[in-house]
């Protein structure tokens, strides 16, 4: 990746200090997560609404942030996996919803109940 990508040691230190109550690091942490989320969306070519997906990922990350233990792996891997799995879920959910709507419209057209005004 590019030279401006995340330094895992700094990432983990920022997370630890934030969790220990250093709220002044919140903006820095948000910037790091924003970079990570953006790169995951772009790298995996997820076809989701980027703003909505980012917002959902931020909610998930900050709700699960206290669960991170660096003994089990790096912060980069932990949060990348979390983001990828969540984006897969969002993509699948959106795809199923689109198919459901298309099938509903098709059935309505076939039954003659579908009218466009």
pTM of the predicted protein model: 0.77
Q: What CATH number labels 8-90?
A: 1.10.1740
pLDDT band at 116 (very low <50, low <70, confident <90, very high): low
Residue with tokens 């942030």: 65
Highest mean pLDDT among 61-65, 100-104, 108-112: 61-65
Average pLDDT over residues 66-94: 91
Provide the pLDDT confidence category of residue 2 given band limits of 50, 70 and 90: very low
Give 31's pLDDT tier (boundaries 50, 70, 90).
Answer: very high
pLDDT at position 105: 85
Whether 113 has a pLDDT exceeding 90, the answer reads no
Q: What is the pLDDT of residue 117?
A: 55
Name the band, by pLDDT with cuts 50, 70 and 90, for residue 109: confident
């Amino acid at each position: 990746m590019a030279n401006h990508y995340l330094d895992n040691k700094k990432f983990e230190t920022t997370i630890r200090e934030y969790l220990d109550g250093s709220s002044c690091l919140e903006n820095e942490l948000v910037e790091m997560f924003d970079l990570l989320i953006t790169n995951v969306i772009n790298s995996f070519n997820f076809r989701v609404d980027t703003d909505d997906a980012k917002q959902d990922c931020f909610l998930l990350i900050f709700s699960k942030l206290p669960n991170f233990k660096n003994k089990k792996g790096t912060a980069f891997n932990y949060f990348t996996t979390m983001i990828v799995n969540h984006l897969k879920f969002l993509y699948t959910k959106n795809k199923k919803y689109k198919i459901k709507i298309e099938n509903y419209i098709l059935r309505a057209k076939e039954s003659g109940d579908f009218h466009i005004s």
